């Protein structure tokens, strides 16, 4: 049977906020997701993830949208394809625009994901959207304090050694929890590794 | 053991770098994408069902009214979400956003000096039914100018966002209207490979048109299919 053609992607454009991230931007419409993934007593280590998106001139991008998808503290995804199920209170999905923070950062308050299988190091899946990107771009966030697991990770191993640092968020210990920082560089010498998922 | 997803058909997708669309020049990744072998991380994805919807979320003609109806031509936009093997995709969240009838977005950074409509937000969402069908009521969006080049105008369009069943099926796109004279001048639309552009154009359907109420447009989405190779 002949296959149907996949619908072409088009850019998210500059005006997504009132529909996709309305509460963050102050519009009168409910958000399905935001920057806070872990509320209440979800088990796991509370962490913050923050970073900026930079263009080929090194300018900060104030109109990007970042989505993250991650496993819970025990490495389980809230999705039927993961037979283990996950913590009921943890959905694992976050979405923010870079247009409300004074430094144009994306900020997620979440829990550190556990390892999802026997091979991969703990990681967060990331999708980048913005005006000027006709097709979204996939990347990942790994954690600087997981050096041993990172060294065994098959996805990191498929990335040229000198580019792996573009995927590893640096842990900064704070009194009220760790902050991991990682900027996303669309171009340039530190261009982030993007994946063909 | 879990199924994985068929690869992205790059021949149907726009390139990252399309210099006619000027914003791509400094924002398009320049290095080759690194292929990922699908794992649980790629074959799972966010699940949103009917429980997350407000009663009027799929009716943009009513979901932001402040005492009067929005101005403009009422339309019905409906169709199915399929995978490339023609299988309907039920229970899939679809989010939309658009300009009002005058071509103005509610977004605060939209500087186009066309009127805002106090009764129209332009955002909505719905979840596909058991046969993969969705349906929105809205107002036909107007064309609007933008700064890409001298006298640049976007053809009328509605933005769509779909997750599909997994992270790998994520799709953000735009739906256009048949016969729009601006299409051949729009670098975003023209960035799509020539033989796939018509996939982005809705069809006017008298059968879907509601008498004395709204014109009917049909638009289907095709997501990546499943394949047999199990994940790692
Ligand atoms: Fe638009």
Q: What's the gap in Å between the CA of A190 and the closest CA on chain B?
A: 11
Q: For the ranges A147-156, B92-101, B106-115, B165-174, which has the lowest average pLDDT?
A: B106-115
- Are the Cβ atoms of B167 and A197 closer than 8 angstroms? yes
Q: Which residues of B touch A184 (CB under 8 A)?
A: none
Q: Residue A1's pLDDT band (boundaries 50, 70, 90)?
A: low
Looking at domain B10-27+38-222, which of 3.30.420.40, 3.30.40.10, 3.30.420.10, 2.60.130.10 is its CATH number? 2.60.130.10
Residue closest to A163 by CA, chosen among B176, B193, B31, B157: B31
B26 touches chain A (CB under 8 A): yes
Q: What's the gap in Å between the CA of A132 and the closest CA on chain B?
A: 4
Q: Which token pair is A167?
A: 């995927």
Active site residue B149: no
Residue B208's pLDDT is what?
Answer: 98
Q: Which residue of A has its CA nearest to B54?
A: A30
Active site residue B144: yes
- Are the Cβ atoms of B166 and A93 closer than 8 angstroms? no
- Nearest CB neighbour to B173, from listed A10, A15, A91: A10
- Are the Cβ atoms of A18 and B232 closer than 8 angstroms? no
B209 touches chain A (CB under 8 A): no
Instruction: Tell me the C-alpha distance between B17 and A135, whole Å.
Output: 10
Domain residue spans of chain B: 10-27+38-222
Residue B99's pLDDT is what?
Answer: 97
Q: Residue A85's pLDDT band (boundaries 50, 70, 90)?
A: confident
Residue closest to A76 by CA, chosen among A65, A61, A92: A92
Q: Look at A87 and B220; give whichever has higher pLDDT.
A: B220
pLDDT at A30 over 80: yes
Residue A52's pLDDT is what?
Answer: 98
Residue B230's pLDDT is what?
Answer: 64
How many beta-carbon pairs below 8 A join chains A and B? Answer: 253
Options B80, B104, B154, B224, the catalytic residue = B154
Active site residue B50: no
B166 touches chain A (CB under 8 A): yes
Which tens digits make up the pLDDT trace of B170-183? 999 999 999 999 99
Residue A4's pLDDT is what?
Answer: 97
Contacting residues for B16 by C-beta, under 8 A, at least 6 apart: A133, A134, A135, A137, B24, B28, B29
- Nearest CB neighbour to A159, from listed B12, B34, B200: B34
pLDDT at B29 over 90: yes
pLDDT at B153 over 80: yes
Active site residue B137: no
pLDDT at B229 over 80: no
Output the CA B144–ligand 1 centroid distance in Å.
Answer: 8
Active site residue B150: no
Average pLDDT over residues A130-151: 98
Looking at domain A16-185, which of 3.30.565.10, 1.10.238.10, 2.60.130.10, 3.40.50.150 is its CATH number? 2.60.130.10
Pairing of strands B226-230, B3-5: antiparallel
- Are the Cβ atoms of B109 and A71 closer than 8 angstroms? no
Q: Residue A176's pLDDT band (boundaries 50, 70, 90)?
A: confident
DSSP readout, A34-77?
Answer: -SB---TT-SS-EEEEEE-EE-TTS-B-TTEEEEEE---TTS--
Output the CA B146–ligand 1 centroid distance in Å.
Answer: 10
Residue A41's pLDDT is what?
Answer: 83
Options B157, B176, B224, B226, the catalytic residue = B157
Average pLDDT over residues A47-73: 98
Pairing of strands B171-176, B157-162: antiparallel
Average pLDDT over residues B135-161: 98
Q: Look at A101 and A1; give whichever has higher pLDDT.
A: A101
Options B137, B144, B176, B217, the catalytic residue = B144
Average pLDDT over residues B6-33: 98
- Are the Cβ atoms of A4 and B29 closer than 8 angstroms? no
pTM, entire model: 0.97
- Are the Cβ atoms of B12 and A5 closer than 8 angstroms? yes
Q: Residue B116's pLDDT band (boundaries 50, 70, 90)?
A: very high
Options B5, B80, B104, B105, the catalytic residue = B105
Compute the mean pLDDT over every residue in chain A, rounded to the nearest whole number: 96
Residue B231's pLDDT is what?
Answer: 64
Burial class (CB in 10 A: 0-12, 13-18, 19+), A148: exposed
3-state secondary structure labels for all residues of B72-137: CCEEEEEEEEEECCCCECCCCEEEEEECCCCCCCCCCCCCCCCCCCCCCCCEEEEECCCCCEEEEE
Instruction: Tell me the C-alpha distance between B178 and B200, whole Å.
Output: 10
- Nearest CB neighbour to B29, from listed A17, A127, A137: A137
pLDDT at B57 over 90: yes
Which of A16, A19, A65, A124 to mutate to probe the B interface, most B CBs <10 Å? Answer: A19
């Amino acid at each position: 049977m002949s296959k149907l053609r996949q619908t072409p992607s088009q850019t998210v454009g500059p005006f997504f906020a009132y529909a996709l991230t309305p509460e963050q931007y102050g519009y009168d419409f409910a958000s399905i997701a935001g920057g806070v993934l872990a509320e209440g007593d979800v088990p796991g280590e509370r962490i913050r993830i923050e970073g900026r998106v930079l263009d080929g001139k090194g300018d900060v991008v104030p109109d990007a949208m970042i989505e993250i998808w991650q496993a819970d503290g025990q490495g389980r995804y809230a999705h039927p394809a993961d037979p283990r199920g996950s913590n009921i209170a943890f959905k694992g999905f976050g979405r923010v625009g870079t247009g409300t923070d004074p430094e144009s950062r994306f900020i997620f308050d979440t829990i550190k994901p556990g390892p999802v299988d026997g091979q991969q190091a703990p990681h967060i899946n990331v999708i980048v959207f913005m005006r000027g990107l006709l097709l979204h771009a996939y990347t990942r966030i790994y954690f600087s304090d997981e050096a041993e697991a990172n060294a065994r990770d098959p996805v990191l191993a498929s990335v040229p050694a000198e580019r792996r640092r573009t995927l590893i968020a640096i842990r900064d210990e704070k009194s009220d929890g760790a902050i991991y920082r990682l900027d996303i560089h669309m171009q340039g010498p530190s261009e982030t590794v993007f994946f063909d998922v | 053991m879990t199924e994985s997803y068929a690869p992205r058909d790059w021949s149907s997708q726009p390139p990252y770098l399309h210099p006619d669309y000027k914003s791509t020049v400094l924002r398009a990744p320049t290095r080759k994408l690194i292929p990922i072998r699908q794992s649980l991380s790629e074959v799972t994805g966010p699940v949103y069902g009917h429980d997350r919807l407000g009663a009027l979320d799929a009716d943009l003609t009513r979901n932001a009214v402040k005492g009067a109806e929005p101005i403009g031509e009422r339309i019905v936009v409906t169709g199915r979400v399929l995978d490339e093997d023609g299988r309907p995709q039920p229970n899939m969240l679809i989010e939309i956003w658009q300009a009002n009838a005058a071509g103005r977005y509610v977004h605060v950074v939209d500087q186009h000096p066309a009127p805002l409509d106090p009764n129209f937000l332009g955002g909505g969402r719905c979840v596909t039914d058991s046969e993969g069908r969705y349906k929105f009521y809205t107002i036909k969006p107007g064309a609007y100018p933008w700064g890409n080049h001298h006298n640049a105008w976007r053809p009328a369009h509605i933005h769509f966002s779909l997750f599909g069943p997994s992270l790998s099926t994520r799709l953000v796109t735009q739906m256009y209207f048949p016969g729009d004279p601006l299409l051949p001048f729009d670098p975003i639309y023209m960035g799509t490979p020539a033989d796939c552009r018509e996939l982005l154009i809705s069809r006017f359907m008298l059968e879907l048109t509601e008498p004395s109420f709204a014109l009917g447009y049909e638009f289907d989405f095709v997501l990546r299919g499943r394949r047999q190779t199990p994940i790692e």
